Amino acid sequence: MSAHSDTTKVRKFKVDRDAVTWHGRYEPYDLAKEFLIALLVVVILVAGLAVLFGSPDEKPVTVRSWSTADAVGFAQTAITELDGTSPTATYGPPYNLNGTAQSIGPLQPAKWLGVHHPIDTANDYVLGPLATLPDNPQVQAALQEYKSASPSQQATWNAAYEKAVANATFNDGKLVVPAGDYGPVATLIAEETSMARSGALDGALLSSRQFYGTDYTKPLLFIANGQYLADLAGNQHLAGDQWGMMNETGQYPGQAWLWLYTLWYQVPPMKTSSNADLQVFSIMIILTILLALVPFIPGLRSVPRWTRIYRLIWRNHYREVEGSGGPAGGGGSSGSQDSSGGPPLQAEDGTRTPVSV
């Protein structure tokens, strides 16, 4: 190895990617002790917070609790599932092909992998569960009549009922809808509401696949299609325009680290955009990549030097070095360490660094 080889390539020391080499003094630093103290402090802090504040556990909404608390709202949602106008029915991938996927320019990523969790709202939420009531001849007759009717006839009944149910009431345990020609739809929705209030619909939505189910996609989307869940969430300051994604029920801190993700939903154009989710996700993906690649990005990697917060962090070091006119401990920092494993360095004043190759 030659310290002054003619073949040496030299580049300038770049202050935002290269580190000076430390030749100063070393102080005792007991990492194991520091870790144990940190662990003890965290345990005490965690235990104290758990004793003082506990943790929230708001009971989940069930189809039964929803239809019991808001039978009319449930019926209004159920008819939209039957006539295919609910948010889930018109969602698109990954649930069905009925909706328009969110897009940025020509890109519609939701379509790339297609339908993976198929949901046919009419059959999965209304007709299928009602068919599990074989001992109810009235329901079976209504199902038979509805299924044997033409699509246009079904649409006519559905449209009439959806309009009427907006003015429905719920009295003495029965759904009361203004008189009209709804065919079997009035029976279907009334029985669906009764089934929901009994709790049977919760089971029917879950048991459609297997005995040991852990996939709550269908009942969750059904419940989310109604206004009831959103109203409860609004009361708990969890709605989207309340920075809901980072909040928690009650006064708990929640996922505060999602603040930036949530922020984008509060500002135009995402605030009112029909493609807001894809836009926000795209922004966050770009920002995340930028964060991970800061060391490679000129300008961005200079921000720490410009803000000079490092002077605060290492204030003792700078006080010692700049106050004494020399590096700490007589040795201090000098030389350079290349961050890229690239060629040896040259100081910005033009001084060339002889190095070995």
Partner 1 sequence: MTIVDPKAVRPDQADLDKAAGRPEDADQWTAKIRNTAVEALPPQKLLPDRQPAYVASWIYVFGVTTIAALMVVIGTGFILAIFGPNWWHVSSTGLFVNSLHLWSVEIFMFAMVVHLWGKFFMAAWRGKRKITWITGVVSFLVSVGAAFTGYLSQQNFDSQWISTQAKDGINSTGAGAIFNVTNFGQMIMWHIVLLPLCIVAIVGIHVLMVRLRGVVTPLPAKGETPGEDPGEDPAATGAIGTEVQA
Place of tokens 């009334």: 190
Q: Which of residues 263 and 321 has its CB atom nearest to partner 1 in the complex?
A: 321
Q: Which of 101, 122, 131, 159 binds partner 1 (CB under 8 A)?
A: 101
Site string for partner 1, 60-79 (x = CB under 8 A): xx------------------
Backbone angles phi, psi at 268, to 5 degrees: -65, 155
Residues near partner 1 (CB under 8 A), total: 131
| In the complex, least distance from residue 129 CB atom to partner 1, rounded to whole angstroms | 18
Q: Contacts for 219-224 with beta carbons within 8 Å, 24 or more apart?
A: 219/63, 221/87, 221/88, 221/95, 221/119, 222/63, 222/77, 222/81, 222/88, 222/125, 223/61, 223/62, 223/63, 223/66, 224/87, 224/88
Which of these ranges, 150-158, 161-169, 183-191, 238-246, lies near partner 1 under the rule CB under 8 A? Answer: 238-246
| In the complex, least distance from residue 63 CB atom to partner 1, rounded to whole angstroms | 12
Q: Which of residues 125 and 146 has its CB atom nearest to partner 1 in the complex?
A: 125
When asked if residue 216 is in the footprint of partner 1 (CB under 8 A), the reply is: yes
Q: Which of residues 144-173 bind partner 1 (CB under 8 A)?
A: none
Backbone angles phi, psi at 72, to 5 degrees: -65, -45
Q: Contacts for 133-142 with beta carbons within 8 Å, 24 or more apart?
A: 133/191, 133/195, 133/200, 136/191, 138/187, 138/191, 139/187, 139/188, 139/191, 141/184, 142/184, 142/187, 142/188, 142/191
**What does each C-alpha distance from 308 to 13, 303, 304, 314 come to in angstroms?**
19, 8, 6, 10
Q: Which of 232, 263, 270, 283 binds partner 1 (CB under 8 A)?
A: 232
When asked if residue 221 is in the footprint of partner 1 (CB under 8 A), the reply is: yes
Q: Which of 97, 155, 294, 357 binds partner 1 (CB under 8 A)?
A: 294
| In the complex, least distance from residue 146 CB atom to partner 1, rounded to whole angstroms | 28
When asked if residue 277 is in the footprint of partner 1 (CB under 8 A), the reply is: yes
Q: Which of residues 29 and 211 has its CB atom nearest to partner 1 in the complex?
A: 29
Q: Which of 73, 129, 184, 327 binds partner 1 (CB under 8 A)?
A: 327
C-beta of residue 197 within 8 angstroms of C-beta of residue 71: yes
Q: Which of residues 78-97 bind partner 1 (CB under 8 A)?
A: 91, 93-94
Which burial class, exposed, middle or buried, applies to 273 when counting CB atoms under 10 A from its CB (0-12, 13-18, 19+)? Answer: middle
Pair of tokens at residue 99: 């909706």
| In the complex, least distance from residue 175 CB atom to partner 1, rounded to whole angstroms | 25
Q: Which of residues 172-201 bind partner 1 (CB under 8 A)?
A: none
Q: Which of residues 181 and 277 has its CB atom nearest to partner 1 in the complex?
A: 277
Residue 96, Cβ neighbours under 10 Å: how many? 18
Q: Which of residues 152 and 214 has its CB atom nearest to partner 1 in the complex?
A: 214
Site string for partner 1, 20-59 (x = CB under 8 A): xxxxxxxxxxxxx-xx--xx-xxx-xxx-xx--xxxxxxx
Q: Which of 209, 255, 271, 287 binds partner 1 (CB under 8 A)?
A: 255
Backbone angles phi, psi at 20, to 5 degrees: -70, 155
